[in-house]
Structure formats: structure tokens, C-alpha cells
Amino acid sequence: DDVILEVSHLKKYFPIKGGVFSKTAGQVKAVDDVSFSIKKGTTMGLVGESGCGKSTTGRTLLRLIDKTDGEVRFGGTDIYALSKKEMRALRPKMQIIFQDPYSSLSPRLPVGEIIGEAVREHKLVPKNELDDYITKIMASCGLQSYHKDRYPHEFSGGQRQRICIARALALNPEFIVCDEPVSALDVSIQAQIINLLKDLQEEFGLTYLFISHDLSVVEHISDTVGVMYLGSIVETGATEDIFANPLHPYTKALFSAIPIPDPDTKGNRIILEGSIPSPANPPAGCKFHTRCKDCMEICKTQEPVSKDMGNGHVVKCHLYD
């Protein structure tokens, strides 16, 4: 029952640089009034089509980029109320792992240095214990101690992601945003990394926000799921509830697009027509109304409010008014 992360009405708007006639041509509402909480030691999956604001949500709630509005509480602390210095001190507790492990690893540093760099900066471990500490962390991530003297290019994609995970883990984090951490990896390697993340969660009591467009991966790793569309969370709840009983028309369409090997179920697929509208110019009312097969008159003008349908299964859609 221990909420470690609480996001309330988070907004992140990016100004659009104007042309000749105006200084600003408007703004992209990348994250538009997003609220959710994550319990300690659990994983929340964040799903949605690319460009829906998943990554921006992850970065904004970590304060890696500044919010436009709203609040983020980590362990009860309003992180945007912290000074730069206080935020820096908190940073080890809130980490991120990216999709492309190669571009986030310095090619000129040996792996031991990469993993130890921030540990040393934050003085988390006495100098004379650092080497043993790194060895231990690497072992937890399935890396051998002789790997310390090697360089990122000498490793496979899966091993590079292990290095990135080790670098984050070395800071003794409590919460990690995993932004598409297996999307760039071969399918055969994906399961290994997912299982590593699960093992580490168990061993170190980690909490994850797991961002992915891969629903089967999300179903496997998440305790709760949030479904994002055009900067908003349209449905959230326990993973079993969301997958067994999706309520929002967007969630239904998204889930029915999962390739199912059973030919009998093919007829039930809902095709998502059209592309996502521009977040710079989102539709009025329900943002999904331009693609929704259940669209009603009210949907075109009035934005639906979130409703709890029981067991924390929350949906934002006029069908449930």
C-alpha cells in the first residue's frame, strides 16, 4: 500500500517556433494533465502508439526536463520544490534506462569506469571499496569482472543493456524509468533482459515505470498499466483487469491489434483508422473522437472525465458516464 511515486496533473508543453508572422505558433501538449501513482516494489507499464507522450512523461516525472505544470511526489517529496542541489542529491534514487544502450554509453570509457563514474561522483561507496562494489553490481547484472576493462563496442546489444542497468543499479536507486529497454534487442535477448529486470526488482525492491509499445512485454512485466493517447492517460488499472476487460475504445483497438496466432479471433480485430492527430492541434472534446467507432455527439465537444469503475480501473470515456 506504499505509494512511492505520485504524479498529479502533470503537463509538459513544448512551444512551437513560429514563422515570419509570430513568435510562437502554438504549443505541443506532449503531456497533458497526467495523473497516476505507483506502489513501491511494483511495475507500472505505460503503453500507447509512438509519439503519444510516454517518453516525455518519463523524463518530466524524473525532472530530467522541466514540467509545465502539475506535481510529482517521490517518497512524499515534491521533487519540483527541491533546489538544483537537492535534486542532484536525490538523483541516484530516480534513474532511467534508455532504448538504445549504445548511444548512452561513452565509447571511450571501459565498462568498470562507466559503472563507477557516478558512484564516485556521489561518494556512495568508500574509494577502497569501489572496485569490489562494481564487481558485485556487475555480477548481479550477469556481467563478469573481467568485463570491467573492456569497452562498450566489444559487447552485444543485450550485454550493453546489462551495462546500462548495472550503471543505474550501482547508484542504489529506488525507482527506474525503463524507456523501451528491450525494443532495440533481438526477441531472443528481450526475455533475458526482462527477466533480469524482474530479478533485480525482487532482490533490491525496485519500482519501475516500464514504457513500451509492446503489449505482450508489458503484460508480462507490469502490475498496473496506463494507456496513453495524445498526451493523456485514457485508461489505467491492474494489468489483469486492463488486459481481460479493456474499457476504453482506444485500449480495445490497441489490444485487438496484437498479432494473435488463432485465426478464429481475427474477425474481432478492430482496425485503428487514420493516424494520430497532431498534438499541436488535438481534437476538441475527447481527443480520440476522430478515430473512435463509438463516437457520440457529446464526444466532439466535451472532454470526458476519469471514472473509477472499481478496483482502481479508471477510464476516461463518455460511454461510462
What does residue 39 show for φ and ψ, rounded to 5 degrees? -85, 150
Least separation, in Å, of the C-beta of 274 and ligand SF4?
13
Min dist. Cβ of residue 50 to ligand SF4 (A): 20
Whichever of 150 and 307 has its CB closer to ligand SF4, that residue is 307
CB 48 within 8 A of CB 213: yes
Cell 473512435, located at residue:
292
Using CB distances below 5 to 8 A depending on partner kind, what does residue 317 bind out of ligand SF4, Mg ion, none? ligand SF4
Q: Which does 55 bind (CB under 5 to 8 A by kind): Mg ion, ligand SF4, none?
A: Mg ion
Least CB distance to Mg ion at residue 59 (A): 10
CA–CA gap between residue 150 and residue 40 (Å, rounded): 35
Closer CB to ligand SF4, 72 or 286, in the complex: 286
Count of residues interacting with Mg ion (CB under 5 A): 1
Residues numbered 84-113 forming contacts with Mg ion, rule: CB under 5 A: none
CB of 241 to ligand SF4, least distance (A): 18
Q: What's the 3-state SS for 247-277?
A: CCHHHHHHHHCCCCCCHHHHHHCCCCCCCCC
The residue written with cell numbers 525482487 in the block is 202
Q: How far is CA 278 from CA 26, 36, 52, 100, in A?
A: 12, 24, 10, 26
Could you say which residues in the range 37-66 bind Mg ion, by CB under 5 A?
Answer: 55
Closer residue to Mg ion (CB): 55 or 222: 55
Mapped to the 3 state alphabet, what secondary structure does 125-180 carry? CCHHHHHHHHHHHHHHCCCCHHHHHCCHHHCCHHHHHHHHHHHHHCCCCCEEEEEC
Nearer to ligand SF4 by Cβ, of 106 and 275: the residue is 275
Cβ proximity to ligand SF4, 113 vs 294, nearer residue: 294
Question: C-alpha angle with apex 261: 257 to 265, nearest 5 degrees?
Answer: 65
3-state secondary structure of 8: strand
Residues near ligand SF4, by CB under 6 A: 248-249, 286, 288-289, 292, 294-296, 299, 304, 317-319
55 versus 159: smaller Cβ distance to Mg ion: 55
CB of 138 to ligand SF4, least distance (A): 47
Q: For residues 194 and 216, is the Cβ–Cβ distance under 8 A?
A: no
| Binding at 229: pick from ligand SF4, Mg ion, none (beta carbon under 5-8 Å per type) | none
Q: Are 67 and 30 in contact (CB under 8 A)?
A: no
Residue 319 interacts with, from Mg ion, ligand SF4, none (CB under 5-8 Å by kind): ligand SF4
User: Given the rule CB under 5 A, which residues bind Mg ion?
Assistant: 55
